[in-house]
Amino acid sequence: MTTGLFISFEGIDGAGKSSHIEALAQAFRDQGRVVTLTREPGGTPLAEKLRTLMLHDAMDPLTEALIAFAARRDHLVQVIEPALARGEVVICDRFTDATFAYQGAGRGFDLGQLAALERMVQTGTAPQPHLLREPDLTLWFDLPAAVAAERLATARVPDRFEAQPGEFFARVARGYADRAQAAPARFARIDANASRHAVWQQVVQAMVRKGWLAIMVGTKTADTREQA
């Protein structure tokens, strides 16, 4: 049976990661893989309700963290683990690294308590009882906070996170850098301050290095996206 793959996309708001998620999903589909495309917070009916609360209702950092992990637990049990068990490719827009970056580094919530919640929520969902589920690969779209702020200035009406000041996003960016430094084998840094085509090529190369995509498939998809 084909082994499931779990890939997460991470980065501060405005980093541009979302514009490449569907392209990567299609590249895997072109190679005959079944893809589950999902997001956090969200991915299940319950988690989507929690997402709405988290993005729009005022709350303290502990409440934010608890909501994020509650949504994640349901997401893992209902969507991610079953898809991986079926041998699918799971591509998730944000996962636990976002909680450490936003609630930890951004809000200043205790990282040790976040780690305890991570162990509690992400252990016991897989067939292996002691496995702490995390992505096989995290694509980190690294972008200076000032550039991200410029992009967000012309975006839709901001949610509660997108409306935060530049200092908040600078802390979040440092939080992502710390996570990448702590787990270099899991992270692939994407220079998100490059052109869209160059960013896509970095995504493809990360997959090729893992042996998950053939380079011609990835290149064809990138060219198609660029012309669209």
14 is in an annotated binding site: yes
Mean pLDDT of all residues in 208-223: 68
Q: Convert 159-174 to b/e letters by CB count within 10 Å (16 or more is b).
A: eebbebeeebbbbbbe
Are residues 218 and 204 in contact, defined by beta-carbon separation less than 8 angstroms?
yes
Reduced to 3 states, what is the DSSP secondary structure of residue 167? helix
pLDDT in tens, 22-77: 999 999 999 999 999 999 999 999 999 999 999 999 999 999 999 999 999 999 99
Identify the pLDDT of residue 218.
44
- CB neighbour list of residue 60: distance below 8 Å, 6 or more residues apart: none
Find the largest Cα–Cα distance for the chain: 48
| Strand partners for 189 | 140
Is 8 a known ligand-binding residue?
A: no
CA atoms of 23 and 184, how far apart (whole Å): 24
**In this predicted model, what pLDDT tens digit does every residue of 91-143 receive, in sequence order?**
999 999 999 999 999 999 999 999 999 999 999 999 898 999 999 999 999 99
Q: What is the side-by-side strand order in the sheet with 89-93?
A: 35-39, 89-93, 5-10, 137-142, 187-191
Letter string b/e over residues 27-38, b meaning 16 or more CB atoms within 10 A of that residue's CB:
bbeeeebebbbb
* 13 annotated as a binding-site residue: yes
**What is the distance between the alpha carbons of residues 20 and 220, in angstroms, rounded to a whole number?**
14
Per-residue confidence (pLDDT) for residue 220, from 0 to 100:
47
Q: Is the pLDDT of residue 226 over 60?
A: no
Residues 6+ apart with CB under 8 A from 141: 9, 10, 11, 15, 16, 17, 190, 192, 199
Question: Is residue 16 marked as binding?
Answer: yes
User: For residue 174, what pLDDT band results from cuts at 50, 70 and 90?
Assistant: very high
Q: By C-alpha distance, which of 170, 121, 164 is closest to 145? A: 170
To the question of whether residue 11 is assigned a binding role by annotation, the answer is yes
